[in-house]
Amino acid sequence: MSESVPEIPRLELLAEAPLPTSFGTFRVVVFRYRDPSAHPDLSDEHLALVLGDVNGAESVPVRVHSECLTSEVFGSLKCDCKQQLEAAQAIIERSGRGVLLYLRQEGRGIGLVNKIKAYALQAEGADTIEANERLHLPVDARHYDVAAEMLHTLGVQSVELITNNPEKQSALTRLGISVVGRIPVQIAANPHSESYLSVKRDRMHHWLPRVIPLSKH
């Protein structure tokens, strides 16, 4: 009689440590999530930045944030990802507790190479949706199962979601996360990001103002 092979957990906690930041000292927790449907170029390691005691807590400010190397590392002006990341950390700091989930879903889940290919098409005049469609890629390939699993593991009972994205809120609700409120994050546009934010508002139905003020820089 053959021995049964132990089932490998889909979500695995790998490491955690204090992480001092400009927004206070968070606890950084690294998870591995096995998702066979994810793009093969994406990392399966995701992070949670936790401030305060959230185990068993309700109405916890939570940001579910997708990786954006070009903005967060190189200062790209084509999007507002870095500013949203920092705004979410500031909101959590002011609240005295919260969770920032940093998901390794570069390029809305299509991977870095495809994201740069999309950038090239955008330079020729395509908007962000048209560029993905011309590459025969999903407009948004992200999944939020990992976020739901991470929140359950951290013991969060209900969240106030820091987002402008209605699909993100709906997805988490479908996955069993109790979303009891929403905290908007509105970043002023610059000349390079104005089209990107307009597409989010008009074609992806994000909760953004009709007129987004342009930055002088």
CA angle 69, 114, 168 (to 5 degrees): 65
Would you call 142 a catalytic residue per the annotation?
A: yes
Task: Write the CB contacts of 74 (distance below 8 Å, at least 6 apart in sequence).
Answer: none
| Active site (annotated) includes residue 140 | yes
How many angstroms separate the CA atoms of 217 and 119, rounded? 21
Distance CA 49, CA 23 (A): 11
| Length of the chain counted residue by residue | 217
Q: Which residue in the list 140, 174, 201, 203 is annotated as catalytic?
A: 140
Please tell me which residue in 63, 80, 108, 142 is annotated as part of the active site.
142
Burial of 40 (0-12, 13-18, 19+ CB in 10 A): exposed
Helices (H) and strands (E) in the chain, counts: 8, 7
Which segments within the chain are labelled E, that is strand? 11-21, 24-33, 45-51, 60-66, 98-103, 159-162, 179-183
What residues are annotated to the active site? 140, 142
